[in-house]
Amino acid sequence: QAPLLPLYTLAKTIINKRKFAMSSMRPHRLFVSLISILILVSCGSEPAKFADVDSQRLLNAAATPEEWLTYGGTYDEQRHSGLDQINTGNVAQLGVAWTYDLATERGVESTPIVVDGVMYVTSAWSVVYALDAQTGRELWLYNPDVDKAVGAKACCDVVNRGVAVWKSKVYVGVIDGRLEALDAATGELVWSKVTVDQSKPYTITGAPRVVKGKVLIGNGGAELGVRGYISAYSAETGDLVWRFYTVPNPNKQPDGEVSDSALKDIGNLTWGDEGAWTTDGGGGTVWDSIVYDEVNDSVIFGVGNGSPWNRDHRDAGKGDNLFLSSIVSVDAATGAYKWHFQTTPGDNWDYTATQTIILADLPMGVEGASRRVAMQAPKNGFFYIVDATTGEYLSGEAYVPQNWAEGLDENGRPIENPEARYGDTPFMQNPGPLGAHNWQPMAFNPELKLVYIPAQEIPDYYATDRLFEARSQKWNTGTDLAAGLPMDLDLATALALRATLKGRLIAWDPIAQEARWSVEHSNAWNGGVLSTAGGLVFQGRLEGDFAAYNAATGAKLWSQNVKSGAASGPGTYEIDGQQYVTITTGWGSAYALAGGSAYDQPVPPIVGKVVTFKLGAKGAIPDPDLVMALRTPKADKFGDQAMIQLGFDKYHFNCRVCHGPLAISSGVLPDLRWSPISANVDVWQSIVLGGVLSAKGMVSFADALSPAEAEAIRAYVIKQAHDGAALEAEVAALMAAQGATP
Ligand code: CA
């Protein structure tokens, strides 16, 4: 029986296919919107106020757990709710109260905000929804109508992690770099500001935060090549108040921004004068964690990886390159630098320090006195605790098996394994660029003093790209994106790849710096976490299982198949004495695009949902519309070995990050092997080089590929189709022999 499960999951990988006509949803949704507005107007049952949130309410959020007022629940972003109506004794009775279709097949990473009875949530392409939090009834929908060509700039799918609310407005960061304020009652646009140079490959996926009337927002884009920063805008007017750049500009000259002095005195000294900024910027994007430390009146944020990833191509001076991969603290009012702690000096591996930052009071002071700390489990695999007031390193320990460092020295600096500074020979490293922990939010239970980490082991090969030349608007990592991948994928190789991947929910004791318990998952990529005073930890999984665990022991107490990817941070709230637990679902994000399917079984692309639970409810989640069938190549094989090798290389440098390694897509974007486009050289060239599908996000690669190279990619894709079809037939025959059906 042992081989059956991997065979089954592999078969699902290969055979899953699904049809869904999203375009037909839009008029219907508009109609529903109009109807709900009419209902609201006619029966007068609308809430008395919408997002009536000020500093007092935000500072008091931990004491009002019936609402979920900001991305991480409170300013400390512990994602721990004081609600305990749902608890270890009764969680088994949890059922579906309502679901709401987000009408997208792309990735969903949104944490719902719930305030004054209304849920504000986002989905792909930065669409915002206001729902009745008790029933799921739609109150309004706002679509920022993003040009779909922007999708090509998004390293990790066109996702959005949620909104912020403040004084009757809802704030959303739009994937094309806009920051927008909406009327919380109607969804009408109040103001819109472009926060980035839109000629460069910036994107926004993170949730804004509001601190004392300022909206804080960062951006992403360091895979393609941008210069990172965080900005504070007036919540009322949208005027820029301050901006902090995380890395120097190419001339190390002042920007006229508040970061100037910190760069002059600290940052500039850690960058060489030549060879740096081979892209549009050195990276260091602030794409996720931003917390407000009310005790020190600081904004503490996480800074991303270097651009390009490969330091040899970024900075010939081989410096630490501050403030890459760092936790940085600034004054909340002015943005003035306070302190930093760098997790990965001289980042070489896409080791962002943008992961969840949690503020807490731990007995780590003199003689066990309480000390205010910031905690993070960044991509590099080490769990860090630093003093929130000074940035002093307090402790750190690896939370996953890793092979890039011997450990940390007394200052928290990694003692590197020299092999990790890779060269021409591919080095298999754990963690790989997807990290030991990615954007999925972690949580902290202040009573049990345990941090719950969605951890993953997704090793990858790193090797230098000797021919690297930065390309505008394209991926610029300076690494060989084909390194270590097999030219031919047979069943044994596929299963061996699959076996290298692990995911687990870890209950981490931050004081002892060790795991108290952990739960193994069948999929490496696992979901964000919610902790509650009911003694529970909630976590979803990519394959659709949403579960509750005993927070003290890890015992699984309840689960429900939500029938789509469930990787978002769950939330909880209470209305009229009834506690609800909610999660957004959908299929997509970085793992699905860049690595999901070749290594792991995907969830088929299913329309994203908000799924909300309460005790005793009996609602159902409809089954996805799956079509299971063996697939066939659309053309005969062609090309000699040299042509296919060229296609293999060019595919992985140009196409892998969206269409999947080995030309195997997870289903978010088209699997080129089965696409009729692959059958015809003229159609193929018109898309790949001519850009005729750029309005759908498939921009022209004419600046990166010659016609002969595009044709070599087609030869490789067709070869992979034939190999894939043979593999499917082999798996189907093996499964039939074992009496299983896909
Ligand atoms: Ca990155």
Q: Give the tens place of pLDDT for each residue, 373-384.
A: 999 999 999 999
Structure tokens belonging to residue 49: 């106020």
Reported confidence tier of residue 147, pLDDT bands at 50, 70, 90: very high
Rounded CA-CA distance 27/692 in Å is 26
Q: Cα–chain-centroid distance for residue 464? A: 26
DSSP 577-608: TEEEEEEEE-S-HHHIIIIIHHHSPPPPP---
Catalytically annotated residues:
350
CA of 590 to the centre of ligand 1 (A): 10
Rounded CA-CA distance 197/201 in Å is 8
Residues in Cβ contact with 553 at an 8 Å cutoff, skipping those fewer than 6 apart: 517
CA of 664 to the centre of ligand 1 (A): 22
Give 464-480 pLDDT, tens digit per residue. 999 898 888 889 999 99
Signed CA dihedral, 706, 709, 711, 717: sign only: negative
CA of 354 to the centre of ligand 1 (A): 9
CA of 737 to the centre of ligand 1 (A): 44
Identify the H or E element spanning 56. helix 55-59
Reported confidence tier of residue 99, pLDDT bands at 50, 70, 90: very high
Q: Which ranges of 656-699 does DSSP label H, i.e. alpha helix?
A: 656-659, 681-688
pTM comes to: 0.91
Q: Determine if the peptide bond prior to 323 is cis (ω within 30°).
A: yes
Reported confidence tier of residue 595, pLDDT bands at 50, 70, 90: low
pLDDT at 47: 64
Rounded CA-CA distance 419/93 in Å is 52
Rounded CA-CA distance 178/1 in Å is 53
Question: At residue 104, does pLDDT exceed 50?
Answer: yes
Angle of helix 707-737 relative to helix 681-688, nearest 10 degrees?
Answer: 110
CA of 555 to the centre of ligand 1 (A): 34
Instruction: Decide: 527 and 543 in contact? Cβ < 8 Å.
Output: no
Give 649-691 pLDDT, tens digit per residue. 999 999 988 888 889 887 778 889 989 999 999 999 999 999 9
Of 391, 370, 381, which Cα lies nearest the Cα of 511?
370
